Amino acid sequence: MTLQSGRDGESTPDGESRGAGRDPRPTRRGVLLGVGLVGLGGVLAGCSTAAVPYDANEAGVPPNGPAPGAMPSSGAMTSPAAPGSDAMSSSPAPRGGQASQSARKKAKPKPKGTVLGAASDIPVGGGAIYTAAKVVVTQPASGQYKAFSAVCTHVGCLVNKVTSGTIGCPCHGSEFKITNGAVVAGPAPSPLPARQIKIVDDQVILL
């Protein structure tokens, strides 16, 4: 029996190659190499590119504390709100309903009563007869208006004319004053009853 060399690639005493039956476990050199690489990666990860004072401690803080103008570590920056932004965002927009309500308040309310006609149609020293309302309106002086019932107090006929300062009835010739409705000529036994009117925006309104 011939002795075989124990080097790698040579035959062993039982005729098998040492390289073919190599132990699959990692060698000591490989283990040390892997540990060294892991340690190097940890050292590089712990390094910082930020400038550190020469007398700082392990955390990078100088003995007298951080510099007054140092930025916060979180890196968050806040910006002040624009002046007047809150007032602009909180103020409600004007609504159209409010504008329409204010316009209605400014509009003059319609007067109550029955509109007879235009005051400018009544001549000074004369009058106008409104047969539908059975009212006669006179203007004895400029801007002075009077109103009376247009029903004659004799037999109930309607007066039909205002001339020469009097109100005339066509049935029996009775006449009444335009100032107070008093009887000027009979057979009417009593004056014409007064009626209440109001002049609004050149309109004669019977109350």
Domain-wise residue ranges, the chain: 122-206
Q: What is the pLDDT of residue 98?
A: 61
Scan for tokens 């700082």, then name that residue.
56
pLDDT in tens, 63-91: 666 555 554 444 445 445 555 545 454 55
CA angle 128, 133, 138 (to 5 degrees): 25
Q: List 144's β-bridge partners, or say none.
A: 141
100 neighbors 193 (Cβ within 8 angstroms): no
What's the pLDDT tens digit per position in 148-188? 999 999 999 999 999 999 999 999 999 999 999 999 988 99
pLDDT > 90? residue 56 = no
Q: Which CATH class is domain 122-206?
A: mainly beta
Between CA 9 and CA 19 the distance in angstroms is 5
Element of type H or E holding 101: helix 96-106
Q: Which among 27-41, 43-57, 193-207 has the top mean pLDDT?
A: 193-207
| Residue 117: pLDDT band with limits 50, 70, 90 | very high
